[in-house]
């Protein structure tokens, strides 16, 4: 397999992993509630924290990666996501599950935005970019479907803890693929101090773009 194909498939795996981890908990909330004797409303709060921190991570760590390095941020957030999965895999209380979900959200939220940034700065061929972004759209739709079917099947047959163990194993493989196949687009890049004013300017610029604002509202309504 060529170096470019390994790179593209690794990016796909990162992108898919973001949505697998985001949407695997909701379908098994009732199972977790019954087996761990945690009120369903409490667990729903934990999932809300997951979605909130996923969104915050996506918004904040994308610009931060411009200063610290996209590959560095991606590896760090993957390690964070792995820690969250481990916490959830060995949790049996509302507090520990919520902490695990919060850590997962903080980690995996940056996957898709940083992956897109790496692609934009690495791939120059417009035809290839179109194919990659078309696949991204497909993965966004497939992720929740696959995670729902698999998480319910695993939780019903092996227990809900195994859902997070399975995600942990997948995440390890994705982390390994990232380490081996994903490199900083700018070979001369050196990490620099985070510029708060620079990040603020990026947000202000985005807020002035009608298309960005409309898309942000639509995505928010979709997850509601």
Structure tokens at 150: 């698999």
3-191: CATH superfamily: MFS general substrate transporter like domains (1.20.1250.20)
What percent of the chain shows pLDDT beyond 70?
Answer: 83
- pTM listed for this prediction: 0.83
Higher pLDDT, 138 or 104: 104
Higher pLDDT, 183 or 82: 82
Kindly report, residue by residue over 164-207, the tens digit of the pLDDT: 999 999 999 999 999 999 887 766 556 555 556 665 666 666 66
Q: Which one-letter DSSP state was computed for residue 139?
A: H
Using the predicted structure, report yes or no on whether residue 212 has a pLDDT greater than 60.
no
What pLDDT, on a 0 to 100 scale, did the predictor assign at position 141? 85
What pLDDT, on a 0 to 100 scale, did the predictor assign at position 160? 94
Kindly report, residue by residue over 39-76, the tens digit of the pLDDT: 999 999 999 999 888 888 888 887 777 778 888 889 99
The DSSP-derived string for 166-216 is: HHHHHHHHHHHHHHHH---SSTT-------HHHHHHHHHHHHT-HHHHHHH
How far is it, in rounded angstroms, from Cα 124 to Cα 57? 27
Contact 94, 78 (CB under 8 A): no
The ranges assigned to domains in the chain are: 3-191, 194-224
Using the predicted structure, report yes or no on whether residue 83 has a pLDDT greater than 80.
yes
Which residue in the block uniquely carries the two structure tokens 């509202």?
A: 217
């Amino acid at each position: 397999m060529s170096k470019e194909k390994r790179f593209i498939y690794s990016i796909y795996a990162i992108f898919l992993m973001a949505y697998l981890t985001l949407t695997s908990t909701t379908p098994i909330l009732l199972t977790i509630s019954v087996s761990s004797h945690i009120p369903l409303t409490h667990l729903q709060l934990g999932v809300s924290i997951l979605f909130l921190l996923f969104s915050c991570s996506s918004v904040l760590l994308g610009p931060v990666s411009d200063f610290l390095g996209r590959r560095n941020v991606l590896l760090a957030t993957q390690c964070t996501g792995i820690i969250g999965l481990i916490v959830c895999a060995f949790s049996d209380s509302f507090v520990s599950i919520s902490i695990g979900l919060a850590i997962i959200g903080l980690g995996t939220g940056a996957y898709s935005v940083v992956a897109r940034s790496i692609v934009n700065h690495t791939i120059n061929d417009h035809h290839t970019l179109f194919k990659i972004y078309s696949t991204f759209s497909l993965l966004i739709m497939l992720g929740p479907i696959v995670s729902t079917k698999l998480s319910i099947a695993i939780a019903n047959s092996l227990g809900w803890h195994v859902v997070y163990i399975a995600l942990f194993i997948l995440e390890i493989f994705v982390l390994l693929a990232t380490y081996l196949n994903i490199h900083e687009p700018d070979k001369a890049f050196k990490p620099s101090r985070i510029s708060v004013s620079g990040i603020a300017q990026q947000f202000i610029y985005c807020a002035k773009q009608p298309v960005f604002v409309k898309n942000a509202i639509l995505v928010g309504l979709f997850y509601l």
